[in-house]
Amino acid sequence: MSPAPSPGRWLRWPDGATTPRFAYGADYNPEQWPREVWREDIALMREAGVNIVSLAIFSWARLQPAEDAWDFGWLDEAMDLLHAGGIAVDLATATASPPPWLTTAHPEILPVTATGETVWPGARQHWRPTSPVFREHALRLVTALAERYAGHPALAAWHVSNELGCHNIYDYSDDAARAFRAWLRARYETLDALNHAWGTAFWSQRYTDFEQILPPRLAASHPNPTQQLDFKRFSSDALKDYLRAEREVLRRATPEVPVTTNFMVMGETKGMNYADWAAEVDFVANDHYVVPGPQAVDELSFSANLTGNLAGGRPWFLMEHSTSAVNWQPVNRAKRPGELARDSLLHVAHGADAVCFFQWRQSAAGAEKYHSAMVPHAGADSEVFRSVTRLGRLLADDLAPAAGSARQPARAAVLFDWESWWASEQDSHPTSLLRYRQEALDWYSAFLALGVRADVIPAGAGPDGYDLVVAPVLHLVTSALAKELTRYAEGGGHLVATYFSGIVDEHDHAWLGGYPGALRELLGVRVEEFAPLPDGESVALDNGTTGTLWTDRVEVIDPATEMLARYASGDLAGRPAVTRRPAGAGSAAYVSTRLGPGGLQPVLARLLDAAGVGSELPAPARGRVELAVRVGADGAAYWFLVNRTDEPVEVPGVAGELLTGSRVGEAGADGAAPVLLEARGVAVLRRDQAMG
């Protein structure tokens, strides 16, 4: 048995330093370049303030050119050069992309799609998470690396594989089928239990032997929904199991070196249940790329916030983001002035103690040659490299006191639940237009617009400690969760739930007696039939907002329930749209339609008011500036003021010592002149906690 995961372990700096410092760097792929470039790389890294790189992520083919041939010479040299340059290494296990000799000898490691097509080599991550043959070869490589570099002084952390599940989360192969059956046996023990959970009385699906069960491959019509949900759970677990297998090899060889892997808490990446994975790593690491659109910055903040909470408030590692354009969007826009630093610092604001990019030097060849890097094709004489160097200095010098500080929890939170995400977006539902993460993001945007801090927390963390908790589309609610939320509200908490919440249990069976099922009594409303809206249709509310996507014919079952807004058009005109029921010492509100970030603002403002939660920002800054707070071991608070707009903003009334940023104009009553935030700018203040 290996020791239990020890959350809270951080990089092992080669110089033995224990005073917290920000890590700064990138994925480094020296194998793409001749030796003479390596020396220039080290010199430029030092100039930019780089103190860590992730190495060997896609190096399997170079490290093991044939089954029994190894070539570590080049990696030894790169590790030594980096160490001599004072740069630590987050060493990858190199298993992300199996080499051609392996897939030629063992095509049975290649994933298979739901329609039975083989996912061929030619790109990367073409391996089955459940393949015993792949695992045997991969762990052999991990063992060889772990043994060779165990004592290397540059080794600061291990980086398992890369973005597990980025391309291979769902595999429908025979290996997957076998592993799925084993997973189901462990979950249900008996076929009767499985038949009940899967509702196999429907469409003559009753199983009489576990061997009859398959992954949800291409079927004639809608595959069984619980089979689909379980396959999602299984697929996340299968990769988690693989992560553990690599980690065990690493822990055996180097118990003192922390192990991590880069999560993808971003956009619509939803296959991996990171709330369930977070305890498997010594520190949480995340990759984030900006999703273009009107909520781009909000989405970045949302992802960073959720990552910080997956890390339990402790520092986490931003393993990848981009200095400028990516290569995988339909149109890849360069970042505008200020965005490189603003995007990085927004992650830091939410607890990141490491800021790293994909990648160090922009590739000259390969699928990512148009993806930005710290050193672009143009070379070091470029605006990108100058911005990179400025950011390196900022992290190493000005912001140094904030390193190691923890996220300060907010008073409000948005619950985020992977199982509700999976279950609410399955097929054969009232609408195919529902987007779980979008609804959660809309609420978060409304908080930002009101200038009120809110945490994004995994649902399993529970609502306790928060004055107000929003549960957007909390679709899958077990009886235990329903009880927990009821206890929370009755104990003085303020719960807000939306449409399509409380509808099914853990088996994806509908709670009976009327919607919102498990939350009906708590919310004090009952709905007999859903009334989703077709794309392009909307409904007016009497508070001046507009609902889309969904409506409910809401019946109030507790007369104490307050009406916060009614429908004002269509068949539901005059009926409740937003309600709030006093529940014990707290309350439970229900929002029955999609209001979007703008429409949620007046509703949220009222709910916050009733819960006694206000903005910590001065009125002129609300909506234009995001505030995130970290707290140091000495009790000092670090206020990150992030300009969300493309115009300069002045923030009056914030006392404290500026670590970065400037003040303008006359001092106010508190003795402090307004803080000036340039367009997309960030200021960081150190404040005595007593300042409040």
The site for ligand GAL (CB under 6 A) is made up of 162-163, 166, 287, 289, 320, 326, 358, 368, 371
CB of 157 to ligand GAL, least distance (A): 16
Comparing CB distances to ligand GAL, the nearer of 166 and 214 is: 166
CB 283 within 8 A of CB 316: yes
CB of 26 to ligand GAL, least distance (A): 11
CB-side neighbour CA atoms (13 Å) of 293? 14
Q: And the tokens for 209?
A: 């032997």
State phi, psi for 429 to the nearest 5 degrees.
Answer: -110, 175
CB of 166 to ligand GAL, least distance (A): 5
Q: And the tokens for 456?
A: 């994004």
CB 641 within 8 A of CB 648: no
Could you give the CA distance from residue 556 to residue 407 in angstroms, rounded to a whole number? Answer: 40
CB 534 within 8 A of CB 570: no
97 three-class SS: coil
The region, left, alpha or beta by phi > 0 then psi within -120 to 50, assigned to residue 612 is left
Instruction: Determine whether 163 is an active site residue.
Output: yes
Could you give the CA distance from residue 466 to residue 455 in angstroms, rounded to a whole number? Answer: 9
CB of 496 to ligand GAL, least distance (A): 34
Could you give the CA distance from residue 327 to residue 522 in angstroms, rounded to a whole number? Answer: 48
Bridge-based pairing state of the strands 552-556 and 412-416: unpaired
Comparing CB distances to ligand GAL, the nearer of 303 and 405 is: 303
CB of 328 to ligand GAL, least distance (A): 6
Burial-class residue 315 by CB neighbours within 10 Å (0-12, 13-18, 19+). buried
Which entry of 246, 299, 320, 419 is annotated as an active-site residue? Answer: 320
Nearest Cα residue to 245 out of 110, 92, 138 = 138
274-294: burial string, b at 16+ Cβ within 10 Å, e else? bbbbbebbbbbbbbbbbbeee
Q: And the tokens for 29?
A: 């792929």
Comparing CB distances to ligand GAL, the nearer of 276 and 368 is: 368
CB of 394 to ligand GAL, least distance (A): 23
Comparing CB distances to ligand GAL, the nearer of 163 and 455 is: 163
304 three-class SS: helix
CB of 148 to ligand GAL, least distance (A): 23
- To the nearest 10 degrees (0 to 180), the angle between helices 296-310 and 436-450 is 100
CB of 321 to ligand GAL, least distance (A): 9
Q: Name, in order, each residue with C-beta under 8 angstroms of 179's C-beta and a sequence gap of 6 or more.
A: 130, 234, 238
Comparing CB distances to ligand GAL, the nearer of 170 and 500 is: 170
Comparing CB distances to ligand GAL, the nearer of 161 and 226 is: 161
Degrees to nearest 5, angle at CA 270 with 269 and 274: 105
Could you give the CA distance from residue 40 to residue 358 in angstroms, rounded to a whole number? Answer: 18
Computed on alpha carbons and rounded to an integer, the radius of gyration of the chain in Å comes to 26
The region, left, alpha or beta by phi > 0 then psi within -120 to 50, assigned to residue 366 is left
Comparing CB distances to ligand GAL, the nearer of 114 and 166 is: 166
CB of 98 to ligand GAL, least distance (A): 15
Comparing CB distances to ligand GAL, the nearer of 340 and 683 is: 340
Comparing CB distances to ligand GAL, the nearer of 166 and 213 is: 166
* Residue 318 host element (H or E): strand 316-320
Instruction: Determine whether 67 is an active site residue.
Output: no
Strands (E), 434-532: 454-458, 468-471, 494-498, 525-530
* Residue 526 host element (H or E): strand 525-530
Catalytically annotated residues:
163, 320
